[in-house]
Structure 1
Amino acid sequence: MVDHGGVIRRHELTDQEWELLAPLIPRAATGRPRVEDRQVINGMVYKIRTGISWRDLPERYGPWKTVYTRFRRYALDGVFTRALQQVQAHADEAGDIDWLIQIDSTIVRAHQHAAATGRKGGSTGRTNRGDHALGRSRGGLTTKIHLACDGKGRPLAILLTPGQRHDSVCARPLLERIRVPRTGLGRPRCKPDQVIADKAYSSRGFRAYLRKRGIACTIPEKADQQQHRHNRGRRGGRPPAFDRQIYRRRFRGIATRYDKTATSYEAAVSLASFLLWARSV
């Protein structure tokens, strides 16, 4: 959204970002006039970037219920996931994706609004929270965001789990979410050239999975794994290959969860990821 002076407000889409996103927004059905798409999307971006509640959205974005309702509809329809895949596809076609894939996770504390999930109808059980990627960890009620990024730190795949879920358990399903479509004919690209990860992903099962797929990896061994191998002598085998220079390219990083449902929260993460890509292409 641009103000009357032609200046793009902070926390809103740039012209380049909107140019990439606009063709992917569902067309309005014929009927009564509705709030402009860019105005509404800017409201969503503003909400995600500032963390305010939907009710507190500035009036310039239109009625907050309109912004929320459209966001929820787009989340259920996978609009932002498709937008993310589309920008990835164009980057891959241009040879702009570095397929040295980095995986990591970050624990995000759930705001009290998100923590209220399941209260309607009296259900507050573990199953309901788990369905929405909410769980108990040292930080209280949390969600864990698992990311697989290209060598330039741009998200290729996103996986949400309850906060207590161990990284090594999620590594395989995270990598299997990488599906960069082709702009023409052909299957989506799913296979990294190499994977970089920290010690949390140093399990024999995950290393075996990568070997089976022919994917090189740079993952340091845990101290207990090293000791176990040494204790076995020759039967312990050789230590796994480890390149310190490549490992230094590993990233860390991401904030607070306000959305009650996993669908909405993943849509917010996908939209944020799309904006990261949009700035780099």
Structure 2
Amino acid sequence: MNRHDLTDAEWERLAPLLPANPRQGGRWADHRRMINGVFFRVRTTITWRDLPPCHGNWKTVHNRHRHWSMDGTWGKILDGLRTGCDEAEGEDWTVSVDSAVVRAHQHAAGARSAVGRFPVKGDGVDHKTARGREALGRPRGGLSTKVHLAADRRCRLIARIISPGRHGDSPYFRRVLEGVRIQRRGPGRPRKRPGRVLADKAYSSRANRAYLRRRSIKAVIPIKKDQQTNRVKQGSRGGRPPGFDAERYKERNTAERCINKLKGYRAVALRTDKRERIYQGTVDIASVRIWLRDPVQ
């Protein structure tokens, strides 16, 4: 048994969430063996062809990862593992929002597309669309991707969005929170609204605060110094300053600790996947591993 393989206890929690064999056509190869191979690659970021023979044919393992990433199976498995994770906190369920820049390996670039690869000036291609293709950006430091995420108090990923590395944090705040979806253990609709959201100054904007007010979510976001100065200059027209709970804000590090957990998996810390959906699946696989090791009680 490899140290990256599923334990018997983890397999018992994971097995009921896996898709059944199709009624027509070929049958799935052994789920446990294939998933162990995917876990090994995500942890070590080796090339698929170098996968140890104990995990089976490397092409079969790669196809399983690609297929489940493209059709959202990894996301559905995560939804099953997160079921009821908000019950212990009740109405005070708190999530933290943050982002992390991930360097992209040179092998991550070059995915085929109708607009070609990274275009050059004067070739007649819409650069605003092409440069953000497959969630790859080219800032000064080279190709990179940014992972926007929401984490709970136990540093476990709740929702995630992938964007090019040069994109800002604040525009993705709403999209990250709209991705929160916690299934109920019993009957009822999934919970999509936390009781409180923690975030740093990068997310301090009127639009974000108004969005949280409309959804009756308490905001724990410090105001930027320039925003505070402009409010004072406007006098009574500036309105009241937003409330800020400094004691609650101390818990915001849970999002950063969640990022550290994810980047412990090398295929997350260094992107080698060409397709955005495949890399999203890689992030989900690392999250599956985290949730298996710290399950809902």
- The match for 1:5 is none
- The alignment status of 1:67 with 2:57, answered yes or no, reads no
Deviation at 1:51, TM superposition (A): 1.1
- The alignment status of 1:148 with 2:162, answered yes or no, reads no
Q: Which residue of the other structure, out of 224, 237, 245, is the alignment partner of 2:239?
A: 237
Secondary structure at the counterpart of residue 232 of structure 1: helix
TM-score normalised by structure 1 residue count: 0.89
Say if 2:144 and 2:165, in contact at 8 Å, map to a contact too. Answer: yes
Say if 2:94 and 2:194, in contact at 8 Å, map to a contact too. Answer: yes
Say if 1:17 and 1:275, in contact at 8 Å, map to a contact too. Answer: no
* Inter-CA distance 28–204: structure 2 relative to 1 (3 Å threshold): same
Q: Which runs of 5+ in 1 are unaligned?
A: 3-8
Alignment of 1:99-248 (within 5 A): 99-118=93-112, 122-125=116-119, 126=127, 127-128=129-130, 130-248=132-250
TM-score normalised by structure 2 residue count: 0.85
Q: Which runs of 5+ in 2 are unaligned?
A: 120-126, 264-268
Secondary structure at the counterpart of residue 200 of structure 1: helix
Measure the CA separation in 1 of the matches of 2:89 and 2:30.
32
Measure the CA separation in 2 of the matches of 1:16 and 1:131.
40
Measure the CA separation in 2 of the matches of 1:258 and 1:129.
18
- The alignment status of 1:13 with 2:15, answered yes or no, reads no
Identity of aligned residues (%): 47
Measure the CA separation in 1 of the matches of 2:187 and 2:246.
38
Q: What is the aligned residue count?
A: 273
Higher RCO (CA-CA < 8 Å; seq separation 6+): 2
Say if 1:35 and 1:62, in contact at 8 Å, map to a contact too. Answer: no
Say if 1:100 and 1:192, in contact at 8 Å, map to a contact too. Answer: yes
* Inter-CA distance 96–205: structure 2 relative to 1 (3 Å threshold): closer
Residue-by-residue CA offset, 1:73-98 (whole Å, 9 max, x unaligned): 11122111001101111434x53787
**RMSD of equivalent CA atoms:** 2.2
* Inter-CA distance 40–217: structure 2 relative to 1 (3 Å threshold): same
Name the stretch that deviates more: 271-280 or 232-241: 232-241
* Inter-CA distance 27–128: structure 2 relative to 1 (3 Å threshold): farther
Amino acid at match of 1:195: V
Amino acid at match of 1:185: P
Measure the CA separation in 1 of the matches of 2:11 and 2:97.
29
Measure the CA separation in 1 of the matches of 2:208 and 2:184.
28
- The alignment status of 1:38 with 2:40, answered yes or no, reads no
* Inter-CA distance 234–90: structure 2 relative to 1 (3 Å threshold): closer
- The match for 1:250 is 252
Q: Which residue of the other structure, out of 258, 261, 274, is the alignment partner of 1:260?
A: 274
Residue-by-residue CA offset, 1:220-272 (whole Å, 9 max, x unaligned): 11111111112112322222111121111112133111111111111111111
Measure the CA separation in 1 of the matches of 2:292 and 2:224.
37
